[in-house]
Amino acid sequence: MLDDYVAAYNSFRANSGFTPQEQEVVFLSIAYVNNCTYCMAAHSFVGDNMTHVPVEVTDAIRSNSDIPDVKLKALSLFAKSVTMNRGLPTETDIENFLSAGYTQNHILAVISGVGVKTMSNYFNHIFNTPIDDAFKGRVWEKN
């Protein structure tokens, strides 16, 4: 099972067409919807410190508030919609995502991201993965 996860994760990272910052927005947005405390801490840390997502963006996703960057906001909202609606975003969701500058290939990439991140979120839920020391500064609890 780990092989499946690693292959999907690596493929998303290599083939999604998203920048590293956008990838973290996708993963953080999905983790928010799935209420994964481990992934919220981990992707907040990675976003803030490794891929340089602006802290105001990661904080907005963490608090479910308005993201100041228009394109990243559209990406986050679409990833959340796909996750919440179990692959059934509305036509308006799709139109808003595409009008922000994303493509149909990016839609496929978000779906892939939902798959791989949901696997990770569920692993962490079931096995109560403890937060790594490196991520403890970004511990999160859903509002």
pTM score, two decimals?
Answer: 0.96
- Look at residue 11 and give its three-state secondary structure: helix
* Structural domain contains residue 143: no
Range of the domain at 45: 2-138
Question: 3-class SS at 120?
Answer: helix
pLDDT of residue 88: 98
| pLDDT tens digits along 51-109 | 999 999 999 999 999 999 999 999 999 999 999 999 999 999 999 999 999 999 999 99
Minimal CA–CA distance to 82: which of 53, 101, 106, 100? 106
- Count how many domains the chain has: 1
- Domain-located, residue 39: yes
Q: What is the CATH number of the domain that holds 120?
A: 1.20.1290.10
Count of CB atoms situated within 10 Å of the CB of 37: 19
